[in-house]
Amino acid sequence: MKQKVEDLDWKNLGFVYRDLPYRYEAKYKDGEWQEGKLIEDSTLVLSEGAEILHYGQEIFEGLKAYRREDGKINLFRPDENAHRFALSAERLAMPPFPEDRFVEAVKQVVLANKEYVPPYDSGATLYLRPFMIGTSNVLGVQAANEYTFRIFAVPVGAYIKGLNPADYIVSEYDRAAYAGTGQAKTSGNYASSLLPSVEAHKNGFADCLYLDPREHKYVDEFGGANFYGITQEGQFVTPKSKSILISITKRSLLELAKKQGLNPVERQITLEEAFNMKEAGAMGTAAVISPVGSITYEGKKHVIYSETETGPVTTKLYNELVDIQYGKQEGPEGWVQTID
């Protein structure tokens, strides 16, 4: 059933799938990407032998369209998503989707579903989910030779409402191997994080914090967001690791932190160091920043800054990035693309 725009309560959208009027689809066959187009059907028809069902060739992206105060719509660094999507494709032995066509397709989906971009003052956005799957039949383990690329859109509320500190637990599981697929945005990494996150939720935690999979000594990232800390000296630090997905939010905050004189650096961060941060947060498109209230490890809870309040550095970074995304403040060259 198609979602009717008049049935949407902009202030209570949550983060759930809804079937909007249009999505974009392009297929790869005979060694090349075919012309894509907007379609209305939200379903996919697959053979039981399709690669994705057995050996997991899937990659995805997540980005948002923001309604500006003047009614126009902003996209935030969609070219970065296009580029990361191509890198993920390469790691999964899939044919990269041309980056310029990716950005063009994102715009087509936003414009086709324009009335579903939430109003400026709702705090909600239109979330875009590009993905690609291997569709040809395989039995032996091999890469597919046919693929489907799609982008659908869903209006979503603020993922975690406002800047409320959350409690995290250090996982005993790994989400990705050292030289595995951690740097690719692929469903397999999420499949391996489901059991840890179910257990974390059962114990009252927002999510898991994963350690580096080789030594279990350094902080890697959360299930779907990168970690940063503000040291006692006021430096913005964020992990450098071969097994994390490089967040576009993180890369943006590194630049803003530099302008704010926080002397940002990417380096290994031990768990002990993380416990002693002045402030810490989780960075990703969904929540922008989710402040870390505490990290629990081996039964001991380490409070960072406060369990109920958000620190000043985190608040300032959050506000600056959100203002840029909504067009209230000018960001660095090329970060925002306005469409209407």
Summary count for the chain: helices (H), strands (E): 7, 18
197 binds ligand PLP (CB under 6 A): no
Residues in 16-75 that interact with ligand PLP by CB under 6 A: 62
Nearer to ligand PLP, 138 or 224 (CB): 224
Nearer to ligand PLP, 50 or 321 (CB): 321
Residues in 132-191 that interact with ligand PLP by CB under 6 A: 185
199 Cβ contact list (under 8 Å, min separation 6): none
The least distance separating ligand PLP from the CB of residue 42, rounded to whole angstroms, comes to 22
The least distance separating ligand PLP from the CB of residue 246, rounded to whole angstroms, comes to 8
Closest to 277 measured CA to CA, from 308, 236, 315? 236
CB 135 within 8 A of CB 52: yes
**How far is CA 72 from each of CA 67, 338, 339, 340, rounded to the nearest angstrom?**
6, 7, 6, 5
The least distance separating ligand PLP from the CB of residue 254, rounded to whole angstroms, comes to 11
Nearer to ligand PLP, 185 or 302 (CB): 185
| Sole window of 25-33, 87-95, 223-231, 235-243 interacting with ligand PLP (rule: CB under 6 A) | 223-231
| Sole window of 4-12, 212-220, 221-229, 260-268 interacting with ligand PLP (rule: CB under 6 A) | 221-229
Letters for 234-253 (x = contact with ligand PLP by CB under 6 A, - = none) are -----------x-xxx----
The least distance separating ligand PLP from the CB of residue 280, rounded to whole angstroms, comes to 15
| Sole window of 133-141, 165-173, 280-288, 291-299 interacting with ligand PLP (rule: CB under 6 A) | 280-288
Interface pick for ligand PLP out of 118, 284, 291, 327 (rule CB under 6 A): 284
The least distance separating ligand PLP from the CB of residue 224, rounded to whole angstroms, comes to 5
Interface pick for ligand PLP out of 226, 290, 310, 314 (rule CB under 6 A): 226
CB 177 within 8 A of CB 319: no
> Is the Cα dihedral 107, 253, 313, 310 positive or negative?
positive
Question: Which tokens hold the place of 45?
Answer: 């028809």
Q: How far is CA 170 from the centre of its chain?
A: 20
The least distance separating ligand PLP from the CB of residue 243, rounded to whole angstroms, comes to 10
Using the structure block, give the residue that is written with the tokens 């049935």: 7
102 Cβ contact list (under 8 Å, min separation 6): 78, 81, 82, 85, 130
Q: What is the DSSP letter of 143?
A: -
Residues in 300-329 that interact with ligand PLP by CB under 6 A: none
Give, to the nearest 10 degrees, the angle between helix 78-91 and helix 99-112.
120
What does residue 167 show for φ and ψ, rounded to 5 degrees? -95, 135
Tell me which of 27, 185, 242, 301 is the catalytic residue: 185
| Sole window of 8-16, 152-160, 222-230, 233-241 interacting with ligand PLP (rule: CB under 6 A) | 222-230
The least distance separating ligand PLP from the CB of residue 136, rounded to whole angstroms, comes to 26
* Strand pairing category for 23-29 and 37-39: antiparallel
261 Cβ contact list (under 8 Å, min separation 6): none
**How far is CA 141 from each of CA 48, 57, 105, 137, 181, rounded to the nearest angstrom?**
15, 11, 31, 11, 17
Is 185 labeled as catalytic in the residue annotation? Answer: yes
Binding site for ligand PLP (CB under 6 A): 62, 185, 221, 224-226, 245, 247-249, 283-285
Q: Which residues are catalytic?
A: 185
